[in-house]
Structure 1
Amino acid sequence: MKKTTLEICCASAADAVEAEKGGADRIELNSAMVFGGLTPSIGDLIEAKKRINIPVVVMIRPRSGGFCCSEIEFEVMKKNAEKLLAAGADGIVFGILKEDGSPDIEKNKIMRKIAGDKEAVFHRAFDIVSDPFAAVDQLTDIGIDRILTSGQQAKVEDGLKLAREIINYAGDRIEVLLGGGIREHNVKKIILRTGAEQIHLSAFKEIFDNSASHQTKVSFNGLKSLPENKYKITDSKKVKAVKNNIS
């Protein structure tokens, strides 16, 4: 098996440290993972870059709930991208769609220009476009470096056929990064069935914060399903287990 790039999706500088410890080749830095990943803080980026020696690309996504953006949201995206790149990000991850679900080429082109000589990555908004092959062409034409996809399924294991077709169609014109439900037990199968050269996943464990265990009547989370006294951090052992299966 040829060398496969392992990108770990992280929600903090602490996550990034653990991911590198486990053998990650690249970090995608986010916040608010419960919402699919939003723009991280500049502090997390600065601290991650200070502590690790692998590339860090940052999510530029102002909110959950779709991929269209208003004029104000687009201005926020541009400013966040500029500031995070200036702070040391090795690339930006974004994906702007029109109301009909097709890529908003003009806005994505502007984001590509802001990235300059750093990487520009189109995230899993790609998985809801109606014509993924046309989208590959459009994104290639505006200079996007990489696409993240699960083969337009909730988990890439259920989208292997389309994922392979997208990889073959993209060829050497644009990189294709596979993500969505990749774990130690299925990573080899996914790579062998698709020919993927890059994979993307998160690998968390739960940590207790007992400061919030003493008063059960008070709730701080907007989502009632989230526990008040636990949080997640990247598990370097889980990252290492995946790494061992692709090395």
Structure 2
Amino acid sequence: MTGITDRIQVEVCVGSMADVAVAAAEGADRVELCGGLELGGLTPSVGLVETVLAESSIPVIVMLRPRAGGFCYDRAEFAAMLRDARRLLDVGAAGVAFGVLDRQGRIDAARSREVVALTAPLPAVFHRAFDFASDRPAALDVLIEIGCTRVLTSGGKPTAEAGAAELCDLIRRAAGRIEIMPGGGITAENVASIVRETGCRQVHIGASAPSDDGSLGSESGIELCDRRYIEGARYRAVAADAVAATISAIRR
């Protein structure tokens, strides 16, 4: 197994230029830039990506995820992913993180192959959609076959610590053909044991804490987040009946 005295690469999940600056200053090797981290990470704006790329001293992998919820996308959502990928790579992203499943929880090999081909020769990283795959060993084989660079995974468990045994199995199965990057709940308290137990050569960390810009106060009672969509697999979608009923109510 890899010893903790060996250099382990550290990737930090970030959502702002301020996050990137902190990660770089504290010794991170690269960052994964996302929007909507409270929703598990979404595609960031081009403006944010360009700002970060202009100032970052370390490589920036950019998230491709068009909405919250699951990872089975309709035609327009996937087309948007490809458009975003082209634009983000054109402005200098060091690679992309993505994940596409079908309704049975299998890797969507055809669409994943498109993303990998579009990203090459830069890294194409399959994110934690992998942890929701119905058969992860088979999913890993698919990702190897299509040429994916790296998989971010907690070993199919809520945290990498809980999934350490499966992470070991995945690293053995990969046999150097694809990188396995543990992520999910990795902290200063457990990172050394995860590295020792799995033999991984890189880790993905959040290392985050709540922050407040002070502008909203505490007395308004106004909620900026719709808490129905913060947890679980649901995402916000416009309901035709609600639109029709509301318009009808003022146009009758």
Where on the TM-score scale, by shorter chain, does this alignment land: which range? 0.7 to 0.9
Alignment partner of 1:54 is 2:58: yes
Query: Is the CA contact (8 Å cut-off) linking 1:17 and 1:48 kept in structure 2?
Result: no
2:49 to 30, 45, 48: 45
Secondary structure class of the residue paired with 1:210: coil
Give the Cα–Cα distance (whole angstroms) in 2 for the partners of residues 128 and 7 of structure 1: 21
> What is residue 146 of structure 2 aligned with on the other side?
142
- Match for 2:182 among 162, 178, 182? 178
CA change 1:225–1:68 in 2 (3 A) is closer
Alignment-derived partner of residue 84 in structure 1: 88
Aligned length: 226
Provide the residue aligned with 2:8 in structure 1. 4
Change (3 A) 1:13 1:141: same
- Whether 2:126 is the aligned partner of 1:125: answer no
- Partners of 1:198 and 1:36 lie apart in 2 by 20
Q: Deviations over 1:57-115 (max 9, x none)?
A: 11100111111010000100000111011111000110100111010000000011110
Q: Distance in 2 between matches of 1:219 and 1:132?
A: 38
Partner of 1:219: 223
Report the equivalent of 1:196: 200
Change beyond 3 A, Cα 1:72–1:171? same
Q: Given that residues 14 and 48 in structure 1 are in contact (C-alpha distance below 8 angstroms), is that contact kept between their aligned partners in structure 2? A: no
- Give matches, 1:226-237, under 5 Å: none
The match for 1:168 among 169, 172, 182 is 172
Aligned-partner Cα distance in 2 for 1:153–1:217: 36
Counterpart for residue 155 of structure 2: 151
Q: Aligned equivalents of 2:215 and 2:152: distance in 1?
A: 38
1:24 paired residue among 28, 33, 38: 28
Ranked by relative contact order (alpha carbons within 8 Å, sequence separation 6 or more), the top structure is 1
* TM-score normalised by structure 2 residue count: 0.86
Segments ≥4 residues shifted beyond 4 Å: none
Q: Which has the larger radius of gyration?
A: 2
After superposition, the CA RMSD in angstroms is 1.6
Partner of 2:106: 102
Q: Per-residue displacement from partner, 1:157-186 (whole Å, max 9, x unpaired)?
A: 111110111011101100010001000000
SS of 1:151's equivalent in the other structure is coil
**TM-superposed deviation, 1:6:** 0.1
Q: Which residue of 2 aligns with 1:231?
A: none
Tell me, which stretches of 5 or more residues in structure 1 are unaligned? Answer: 227-247
Q: CA deviation at 1:215?
A: 4.0
More strand by proportion, 1 or 2? 1
**2:250 match:** none
Segments of 5+ residues of structure 2 without an aligned counterpart are 231-252
The structure-2 alpha-carbon separation of the partners of 1:176 and 1:214, relative to structure 1 and needing over 3 Å to count, comes to: closer
**1:208 corresponds to which residue?**
212
CA distance in 1, matches of 2:120, 2:100: 18
AA matched with 1:93? A
Percent same amino acid at aligned positions?
38
CA gap 1:107/1:185 in 2 versus in 1, 3 angstroms: same
For residues 218 and 115 of structure 2, what CA distance do their matches in structure 1 show? 46
